[in-house]
């Protein structure tokens, strides 16, 4: 009866369902323990600027160094942490770690440090009423200037408007940059650009994969670049794996590229200039 009232379909118990629920609870408890035992790490992937080849920014990506299973990908635990709410605590830890790390690089390297760190924020974090205040506190405690931080959100997280969009306006007012992640794969992509404050469009890897061939993906990659530059946004192409892709994207107008071609996410990236299209670090060429 209660199930009917909430409109939930009545489902019969099955062992498979129970196993999944068990796995969910077990993994959730492990994430809780991992937080307490300091098993999470943040790694950083370069976002390279053309034509200079300098590392203009880095994206912070979380890793779980599991004592038995080794390094666990976020794809395996972020969805669980989102569902059980632990993403709020984990996400704040990631945010604080990333802000502190860039503040350290700035102190150590001066102008050679990346200008910005980009932190992924899940829908559930963004929908919390005090999210912008949490970000302001992380910035204040690390001493990182707000303009040096970008938050990456997906179209899906902001699609419904509401508190998530209010939070983006508050972040903007702080001076934090907003990036739409995996752009082009979620809901209502172009309409969102009229209603949501955005500074950076991260064009999804799926449009980059075949950008060397004349075809639909290339047409879309070019159109997304045109839209973003027409609106005064910065376009970043994600998932660039080859020099040929970098070359093709450069020809379409892209000036910011990210992907294994330039470097995998690591704890301590090399910020030496890369030869922009070829993607090798110049120190590697010299050595
Ligand atoms: P994302 O934010 O779109 O991050 C990009 C993902 O693509 C990363 O995977 C990165 O390692 C991978 N990648 C980058 N360049 C290439 C490439 O050239 N080829 C290929 N095949 N992959 C590439 P990762 O680190 O496994 O993260 C997966 C997703 O998990 C992220 O997608 C993001 O949605 C989520 N995630 C990661 N870290 C965090 C975090 O700290 N907080 C939240 N809320 N989500 C996170
Ligand atoms: Mg991202
Ligand atoms: Mg992305
Ligand atoms: Mg992605």
Q: How far is the CA of 19 from the centre of ligand 3 (A)?
A: 31
pLDDT at position 286 over 50: no
Tokens of 21: 């629920």
- Residue 102: closest CA among 147, 67, 63: 147
pLDDT at position 249: 97
Q: How far is the CA of 61 from the centre of ligand 1 (A)?
A: 6
Residue with tokens 């060397």: 212
Residue nearest to atom 11 of ligand 1 (CA): 265
Note the residue count of the chain. 287
- Residue 259: closest CA among 213, 180, 202, 199: 202
Give the other-Cβ count within 10 Å of 287's Cβ: 6
d(CA 77, CA 87): 10
DSSP 3-state of 181 = strand
Mutation pick for ligand 1 pocket among 43, 57, 78, 85 (CB with most ligand atoms within 8 Å): 78
d(CA 171, CA 133): 9
Residue ranges lining ligand 1, Cβ < 6 Å:
45, 61-62, 73-75, 78, 91, 94, 120-122, 152, 181-182, 239-241, 259-260, 265
Give the other-Cβ count within 10 Å of 115's Cβ: 17
pLDDT at position 186: 77
Q: Which atom of ligand 1 is nearest to the CA of 265?
A: 11
E strand or H helix at 54:
strand 54-66
Give the ligand at the shortest distance from the Cα of 75. Answer: 1
Q: Which atom of ligand 1 is nearest to the CA of 42?
A: 41
| DSSP string covering 210-246 | TTTSSSHHHHHHHHHHHHHHHTTPEEEE----SHHHH
Summarised one tens digit per residue, pLDDT across range 113-160 is: 999 999 999 999 999 999 999 999 999 999 999 999 999 999 989 888
Summarised one tens digit per residue, pLDDT across range 35-70 is: 999 999 999 999 999 999 999 999 999 999 999 999
Q: 159 in the Ramachandran plot: left (φ > 0), alpha (ψ -120 to 50) or beta?
A: alpha
Task: Report which of residues 186 and 67 the model is more confident about.
Answer: 67
pLDDT at position 3: 42
pLDDT at position 191 over 70: yes
42 in Cβ contact with 62 (< 8 Å): yes
The pLDDT mean for the chain works out to 90
Q: How far is the CA of 17 from the centre of ligand 2 (A)?
A: 31
pLDDT at position 277 over 90: no
Give the ligand at the shortest distance from the Cα of 203. Answer: 3
In the chain, where does DSSP find H-type helix? Answer: 2-5, 15-36, 74-84, 87-109, 123-126, 131-142, 155-158, 163-174, 189-195, 205-208, 216-230, 243-252, 282-286
Task: Report which of residues 280 and 76 the model is more confident about.
Answer: 76
Summarised one tens digit per residue, pLDDT across range 83-118 is: 999 999 999 999 999 999 999 999 999 999 999 999
Mutation pick for ligand 1 pocket among 46, 61, 208 (CB with most ligand atoms within 8 Å): 61
Q: How far is the CA of 22 from the centre of ligand 3 (A)?
A: 30
Please report, for residues 92, 130, 165, 172, 196, the alpha-carbon distance to residue 168 in angstroms, rounded to integers and kept in the order given: 16, 12, 5, 6, 8
pLDDT at position 1: 39
pLDDT at position 184: 87
Q: Which atom of ligand 1 is nearest to the CA of 121?
A: 44
Buried b (16+ CB within 10 A) or exposed e, 233-254: bbbbbbbbebbebbebbbebeb
Mutation pick for ligand 1 pocket among 62, 74, 131, 180 (CB with most ligand atoms within 8 Å): 74
pLDDT at position 159: 85
pLDDT at position 6 over 60: no
């Amino acid at each position: 009866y209660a199930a009917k009232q909430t409109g939930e379909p009545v489902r019969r118990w099955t062992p498979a369902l129970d196993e999944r629920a068990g796995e969910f609870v077990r993994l959730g408890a492990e994430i809780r323990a991992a937080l307490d035992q300091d098993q999470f790490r943040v790694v950083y992937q370069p976002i390279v600027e053309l034509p200079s080849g300098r590392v203009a920014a880095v994206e912070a990506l979380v890793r779980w160094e599991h004592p038995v299973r080794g390094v666990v990908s976020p794809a395996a635990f972020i969805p669980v942490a989102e569902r059980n709410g632990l993403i709020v605590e984990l996400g704040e830890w990631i945010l604080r770690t990333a802000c502190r790390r860039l503040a350290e690089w700035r102190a150590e390297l001066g102008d050679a440090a990346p200008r910005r760190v980009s932190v992924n924020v899940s829908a559930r974090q963004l929908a919390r009423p005090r999210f912008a205040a949490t970000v302001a506190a992380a910035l204040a405690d690390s001493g990182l200037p707000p303009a040096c931080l970008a938050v990456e959100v997906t179209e899906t997280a902001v699609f419904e408007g509401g508190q998530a969009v209010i939070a983006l306006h508050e972040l903007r007012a702080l001076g934090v940059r907003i990036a739409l992640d995996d752009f082009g794969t979620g809901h209502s992509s172009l309409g969102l650009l009229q209603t949501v404050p955005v500074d950076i469009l991260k064009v999804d890897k799926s449009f980059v994969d075949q950008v060397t061939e004349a075809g639909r993906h290339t047409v879309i990659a070019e159109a997304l670049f045109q839209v973003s530059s027409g609106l005064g946004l910065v376009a970043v192409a994600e998932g660039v794996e080859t020099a040929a892709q970098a070359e093709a994207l450069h020809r379409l107008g892209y000036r910011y590229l990210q992907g294994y071609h330039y470097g995998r996410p690591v704890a301590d990236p090399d910020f030496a200039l890369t030869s922009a299209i070829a993607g090798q670090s110049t120190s590697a060429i010299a050595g």
